[in-house]
Amino acid sequence: MEVRSPKLLDQLREAIRVRRYSIRTENAYCDWARRFILFHGKRHPRDMAAGEVTAFLTYLASERNVSASTQNQAKSALLFLYKQVLGIELPWLDEIVQAKRGTRLPVVLTPREVRELLGAMHGTMGLVAGLLYGTGMRLLECLRLRAKDVELARREILIREGKGNKDRVTVLPENLVLPLQKHLVRVKALHDADIAAGFGEVYLPDALARKVPHAARQWGWQWVFPSPVRSVDPRSGVERRHHIYSESVQRAVREASRHVGIVKPCSPHVLRHSFATHLLQAGYDIRTVQELLGHSDVKTTMIYTHVLNRGGRGVVSPLDAL
């Protein structure tokens, strides 16, 4: 009996999983590979090369007007496909029309706007939003918190495997200690109910899952913000409780901002920008803010100093002197 070789996208997924890339990266890379194939009339990538890759990436920039980061993601996906799956080294793609990367200042809410926004959010979504503003975490860093990472007594939160695969410690606001304690009591009861029903396992990194097979059911490793329903893991096929979806938080912040009349573009990440800016306004050292945010380079943190310049770099308009 002839054994068929796996389909190309299945091979791509396997190569990504072997390298322990995230499920988000897996889905994004497979989506770009699919778009690339459709763009060239469903030709197999093995029958194409750098010229076709250049044409696709140029199309994204010149006709679709995608951002520079989106074009770079597509490029990384296709280079991975050719090198790791097809075993083909593509030359440096010099002829690509590059999407222009502009310089943008972050959107920052005023303290009053933050107060109104958080006041319009309740329950789990309100707690997540409060943590984003009170700690400066990125959204996924917050949603991926484990029970053991919350140090209530020391008023700090340990962020594991943040952006760049770095750990860091950030502050736990005093005003969130009691709400977070009550939330964790409810989450613990939900976990105990899962255990009693024969479930209760949580996703663990593969190495840890092998070394400590019983850790997946231990309370300390459970998500701080678990989903209200169990679901089947698309990779392992195991039914367990994932953390809440980032889209749910984004929708809640968007609706709350609309409800209180905030006209600025408002997303969960805006709360991180506001955290950094308000700390600098309060006189905290930029190096301290850099460590709390997890920036590798202080130049990244310095973008918030531009937001602090009142009236256009602190200049008093001549109209106000009349």
Question: Which residues 6+ apart lie within 8 Å of 34 measured at CB?
Answer: 9
272 labelled catalytic: yes
Backbone angles phi, psi at 237, to 5 degrees: 80, 10
Half-sphere exposure in the Cβ direction for 209 (13 Å, CA) = 8
163 labelled catalytic: yes
269 labelled catalytic: yes
Q: Active-site residue among 13, 75, 138, 183?
A: 138
Q: Looking at residue 229, what DSSP letter applies? A: S
Q: Active-site residue among 75, 241, 272, 278?
A: 272
Which one, of 3, 253, 293, 32, lies nearest residue 171 by Cα?
Answer: 293
Q: For tokens 């991975």, name the residue.
A: 80
Q: Active-site residue among 13, 75, 168, 295?
A: 295
CA distances from 27 to 2, 24, 32, 245 (A): 30, 5, 9, 15
Tell me if 299 sits within 8 A of 287, measured CB to CB. no
138 labelled catalytic: yes
Distance of alpha carbon 178 from alpha carbon 181, whole angstroms: 5
Q: Active-site residue among 35, 148, 160, 163?
A: 163
Backbone angles phi, psi at 128, to 5 degrees: -60, -45
> Which residues are annotated as catalytic?
138, 163, 269, 272, 295, 304
